[in-house]
């Protein structure tokens, strides 16, 4: 059976994953990533920057070059918030078709939430109380209430780490009042999301994507990324606060 492959054009990172179908599941045969910061400046201009598009197309070409030994595979290149929010995402589609022969598929936040939940359930242990999944991206964050009974619920927000940092933070170490202003927006929108999801308070909170996995790796003091150790790792509120304080005092 032909392998399947996906390239995710994130607001900050481009990722490739190639897998072999195995019944209802699949096994990963290759994965890699490159940081291109596709959505740099998007919050203000509403357009994908020329340099950012070039970095991203070059990144996609490099990832596909490195993956040639895994051919043949069926490939989809998809973008989420960066593609949704840009008025010129069609330009990126044209550039990709010219450079690598594949076009761009822009997905809705609802599709993004559904796929995040599907992926989380593949590694989650059964939870009789259900769980709240949050998927932090560069341009958006989705909150999904996976219920044991009844219909699941989801909320999409613009709480992306690239957008927030560009909108509020002007220096590193972080300036206190800038951080407080950013935190106020985050709290207000998270509160709104939870009001809509209406959890009963017994659910487990589950995080996915780079911010959460990076924090788990830091908490575990890993020198190299290890998904087996990061999956199911529990982050305490105290550990998160210690990391927040430590990182806020660092330069980049």
Q: Do domains 3-106 and 109-248 have the same CATH topology?
A: yes
The CB density around residue 74, as the number of other CB atoms within 10 Å, is: 9
Q: How far is CA 200 from CA 95, 131, 140, 194, in A?
A: 47, 10, 25, 10
Distance CA 63, CA 1 (A): 22
Task: For the chain, give the number of residues.
Answer: 252
The DSSP 8-state label assigned to residue 88 in this structure reads T
For 109-248, which CATH superfamily applies? Exopolyphosphatase. Domain 2 (3.30.420.150)
Q: Where are the domains of the chain?
A: 3-106, 109-248
In a structure prediction context, what are the per-residue pLDDT tens digits for the chain, which is 252 residues long? 689 999 999 888 899 999 998 877 788 899 999 999 998 888 778 899 999 999 999 999 999 999 999 989 999 999 988 898 899 999 999 999 999 999 999 999 899 898 888 888 877 776 667 889 999 988 889 999 987 776 788 999 989 888 898 889 888 899 999 999 999 999 999 999 999 998 888 888 999 888 999 999 999 999 888 888 998 899 999 999 999 999 988 887
Separation CA 31–CA 6 (nearest Å): 10
What Å distances lie between residue 66 and 16, 54, 84, 101, 224, CA to CA?
10, 18, 28, 16, 20
The span from the CA of 35 to the CA of 4, in Å, is 23
Alpha-carbon gap, residue 233 to 109, rounded angstroms: 26
Query: Nearest CA to 225 among 5, 13, 4?
Result: 13
Read off the pTM. 0.82
Considering the four listed CATH numbers 1.10.645.10, 3.30.420.40, 3.40.50.460, 3.70.10.10, the one that applies to the domain covering 3-106 is 3.30.420.40
How far is CA 22 from each of CA 3, 32, 48, 123, rounded to the nearest angstrom?
10, 21, 38, 16
Q: Is 221 left (phi over 0), alpha (psi -120 to 50) or beta?
A: left
């Amino acid at each position: 059976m032909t392998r399947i492959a996906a390239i995710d054009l994130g607001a900050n990172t481009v990722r490739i994953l190639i897998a072999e179908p195995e019944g209802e599941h699949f096994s990963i045969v290759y994965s890699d990533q490159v940081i291109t910061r596709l959505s740099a400046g998007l919050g203000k201009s509403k357009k994908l920057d020329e340099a950012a598009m070039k970095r991203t197309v070059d990144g996609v070409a490099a990832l596909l070059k490195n993956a040639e030994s895994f051919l043949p595979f069926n490939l989809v290149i998809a973008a989420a918030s960066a593609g949704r929010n840009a008025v010129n995402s069609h330009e990126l589609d044209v550039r990709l078709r010219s450079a690598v022969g594949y076009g761009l598929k822009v997905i809705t936040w609802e599709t993004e939430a559904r796929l995040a939940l599907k992926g989380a359930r593949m590694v989650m242990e059964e939870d009789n109380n259900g769980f709240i999944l949050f998927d932090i991206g560069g341009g958006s964050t989705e909150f999904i209430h996976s219920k044991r009974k009844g219909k699941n619920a989801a909320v999409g927000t613009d709480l992306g780490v690239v957008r927030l940092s560009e909108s509020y933070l002007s220096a590193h170490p972080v300036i206190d009042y800038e951080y407080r202003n950013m935190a106020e927006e985050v709290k207000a929108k998270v509160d709104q999301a939870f009001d809509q999801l209406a959890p009963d308070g017994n659910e487990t909170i589950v995080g996915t994507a780079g911010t959460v996995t990076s924090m788990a790796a830091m908490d575990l003091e890993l020198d190299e990324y290890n998904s087996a150790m990061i999956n199911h790792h529990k982050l305490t509120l105290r550990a998160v606060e210690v990391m927040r304080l430590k990182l806020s005092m660092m330069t980049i």
